[in-house]
Amino acid sequence: MARQMVRAFQLSAALLAPVTVALGSTSYNGLAKTPPMGWDNWNAYGCDIDADTLLETAEKMVDFGLRDLGYKYVILDDCWQNMQRSHNGSLVANATKFPDGIKAVSDQIHDMGLMFGMYSSGGMYTCAQYPASLGHETIDAQTFADWGVDYLKYDNCYNQGEEGTSKLSFDRYNTMSQALNKTGRPMHYGMCNWGKDYPWNWAQTMANSWRMSGDVYDSFDRPDDRCPCTTYDCELPGFHCSIMNIIGKVAPVVDKGQPGAWNDLDMLEVGNGGMTDDEYKVHFSMWAMIKSPLIMGTNIAKMTASTYSILANPAVIAISQDSAGTPAVRVWNREAELDDYDQGSISLWVMALSGGDYAIALLNAGNTDLQMNATLEEIFIDKTTTAGGVTRGPLPLSKGWDIYDLWANRMDDTMAISILHGNATVTGSMMNATNSTMLYNATETPYADGVKQNNTALLGVKTSSVDAMGTIQAMVPRHGIAMYRLRAQEGASKSKRDEL
């Protein structure tokens, strides 16, 4: 087992040293240049969490190759505390759940080559009514640093009314930001204020991510009165927000995300049983396209093959981790046949990637399978409508593009089951001639380098091409997605409609 073995893989000392941020960096603390990836216990376990569960999950993340895909953070959510602080005012871990203390857990997670995250709230109490950090930011930040914490999820419950304007929320969250910085330990600072007071307008200079909606739940598009808003302009964020509800709310503010500071659409529900396989593919694909943190929220030890093959798709993860750091934008959103919840739409999303590539997603949230079309003029609309009508260089729609399906190399169930049952090794080089299209090791070769090397696991399967001024067509299943990487061809071609 990973925890019991002596591993050569250790965290670099550079990760644990104070970060000096380069002039002009968009990250306030030098972290999260790409969206963070990891696992949080809340969606799968809630308050039923302890040291053994954390460490066993961390072991599985290593054994299943998830660490080497980029899932680095193991985040301990609410309910880890005692109900009372210590005599010196510091937070204390529950001795029954964590008999050796938090530092011992943190050290073992680090020894596996992973990073450790924790939870508190910018209020008097956490959401589960344990002691929280409002008024205790300095001592709590230092406690987290002493325990070796690399990521702080900072919630919004019981905030004493210190919200209602952007300035009030900024000041409250910035107090913890400054306290974390003063410890000298780099920590990803993840604000969880549910989109209150429009954090996408002010959080970039003091946080690495911010929740932009009420809590997600494991439903594709079912409306729920506890999540009353359908737009970003929301006085009551609530909870039980569906996947499509959150996607719709973030669409107008996707451009606020940037390297070092990301819109957080909440933890992944993939694998928790409330959606179909196609719906989970939409969920994972769109979180990657919009550049949300990819924080798994399922029981890793009990994952099914289909869950694993979604979470372990390197071609989709490469879109999330693309070094350009540009979130996808929704080009159009149209009505479609309504489902049982009176919901239905289709949309086109486009993302500019590093090296001149593009990613597109044709999202069918309608009630029937549909042939969907996207013209190059639509895909490159931002290039054809530049300010003042001035363009720089040839328009992308004036040349042909090769089309790579990012789900075509999805791992088959046989391979996934073999990995989950321990019959296939995915640590170390993680690559061989048989599985190189399905597996990837980003620890050895970062995604940016793999894309430059044309690694087939990252590019997907070339299924077709589209000529200049052409149209891409795809059959997209009900509540499903078609997701492609586009790569420019040499020279231009005559107009052509291309069906996938």
**Measured at the alpha carbon of residue 204, what is the angle toward residues 209 and 31, in degrees to the nearest 5?**
60
Q: End-to-end alpha-carbon separation of the chain, Å?
A: 44
In sequence order, what are the residues at sequence separation of 6 or more whose Cβ sits closer than 8 angstroms to the Cβ of residue 312?
A: 64, 65, 66, 69, 411, 416, 439
* Active-site position among 63, 77, 215, 405: 215
On whether the CB atoms of residues 455 and 445 are closer than 8 A, the answer is yes
The SS3 of residue 63 is helix
140 has catalytic annotation: no
Residue carrying structure tokens 């739409």: 345
Q: DSSP state, 448?
A: H
Neighbours of 15 (CB within 10 A): 14
Quick one: how many helices (H) and strands (E) in the chain? 15, 17
| 358-364 β-sheet, strand order | 329-335, 345-352, 358-364, 480-488, 401-405, 461-466
* Active-site position among 155, 221, 357, 467: 155
Q: Where do the DSSP E strands lie in 208-253?
A: 209-211
How far apart are alpha carbons 293 and 264 in whole angstroms?
A: 6
In sequence order, what are the residues at sequence separation of 6 or more whose Cβ sits closer than 8 angstroms to the Cβ of residue 183?
A: 141, 142, 144, 145
264 has catalytic annotation: no
What does the block give as tokens for 64? 């299943």
What does the block give as tokens for 433? 């001639």
Which are the catalytic amino acids?
155, 215
